[in-house]
Structure 1
Amino acid sequence: MATFSQCGVTKLETKAPVTLGAVYYQHWTDKVEGGESGIVIVIPVISNPKNIILDSVQFLGKQAKLEFKNNSVFIGHIKQESIQKEDIIMSSDPRAEYGNKVPKRANTAQFQLQTDQCVVSYKIGNKVKYFKIDKILKKDDMLYIDSDSKKP
């Protein structure tokens, strides 16, 4: 996966290397208690004469690998951190809290974006390039009845 490196200043291309349709995202949730949830971002490609493969997306402060589906759509799955599933010990005696795990830090995003923008990385040769997509649409949330159902 191409990464959104933190070194130096990364230049965004002024134009996407492919012609895009209406890019959108949806929140999804399992109905079962403690189920998973996340965001799916869908990037339809109308024209791609150079057969460029989009690699990763940065959206809403998170990063995801893009998957190529149906010969015309790239999809990124951003799994949400679940609300604390494990019990932690809270005590006035610090020794009782010894086994607690350190909380994970949120991903730090390289690009400062609005909530309706994302940055996509792609490779040309051995060079990683980036472009920004504006005006991403939000579709209605999806709810799955059970955790075994196929997620987006």
Structure 2
Amino acid sequence: MKYFYLVFSTVFAAVLLSSCGSNKELQERSPAQFDQPYFTSTANSLQLFIPVKAIQPNRISLDSVYFRGMKSALQQDPENKSIYNAHFNTGKQDLIMSSDPAEEYANKMPQMPVKVPFELKEDEAVIVFKENNKKKYYKITGIKEGSKE
């Protein structure tokens, strides 16, 4: 009987702790009306563009995005307010090597892969947004390389 109680307690505790740690649920309802997302890439970087048709800025704020094993902040394009973009460093960059440490200060830290809490395909991303100051997640699909068509 003690053995059964010990096993039952261990399994119960494991289930309870694992459900608390995985609090990230994808929302089925979109936080905004999105147009076709796309990305461009170079040897050293990847730029993700998310066109937004309509959003309620007093209720919703787009925070960041998970894409291809990386996470980056989403920023509203200053020239076109209906496009949000995220920049990812994907390759080696030229480093400034100098005897003066102040000159080396301009070197950027490489962007390391992060543990993405979701299962994503190559053409999928998860947008992290805040709705009424509560963090939520929404998956977008069909991301293609190139410009908006």
TM interval, shorter chain, is: 0.5 to 0.7
- The structure number with the bigger radius of gyration is 2
TM-score w.r.t. the length of structure 1 is: 0.64
**Greater RCO (CA < 8 Å, at least 6 residues apart):** 1
Matched, 1:40 2:85: no
Q: Report the Cα distance in structure 1 between the residues aligned to 2:23 and 2:94, rounded to whole angstroms.
A: 36
Gaps of 5+ in 1: 1-5, 30-36, 86-103, 141-152
Q: 2:132 aligns with which of 121, 125, 134?
A: 125
Preserved contact between residue 70 and residue 112 of structure 2 (Cα < 8 Å): no
Over the matched positions of the two proteins, sequence identity in percent amounts to 27
Q: 1:83 to 1:10 in 2, by over 3 A?
A: same
Q: Report the Cα distance in structure 1 between the residues aligned to 2:138 and 2:49, rounded to whole angstroms.
A: 16
1:46 to partner: Cα distance? 0.5
Q: 2:92 aligns with which of 51, 71, 82?
A: 82
Q: 2:144 aligns with which of 137, 148, 151?
A: 137
Q: Report the Cα distance in structure 2 between the residues aligned to 1:57 and 1:44, rounded to whole angstroms.
A: 14
Structure with more of its chain in strand, by fraction: 1
Task: State the Cα deviation string for residues 65-96 of structure 1 (Å, max 9, x = none).
Answer: 011112111000001141897xxxxxxxxxxx
Q: 1:28 to 1:47 in 2, by over 3 A?
A: same
What residue in structure 2 maps to residue 93 of structure 1? none
Q: 1:28-107 residue pairs with structure 2 within 5 A?
A: 28-29=42-43, 37-51=44-58, 52-69=60-77, 70-82=80-92, 106-107=113-114
RMSD over equivalenced CA pairs, Å? 2.6
1:7 to partner: Cα distance? 3.1
Matched, 1:18 2:26: no
What residue in structure 1 maps to residue 13 of structure 2? none
Structure with more of its chain in helix, by fraction: 2
Q: 2:115 aligns with which of 78, 98, 108?
A: 108
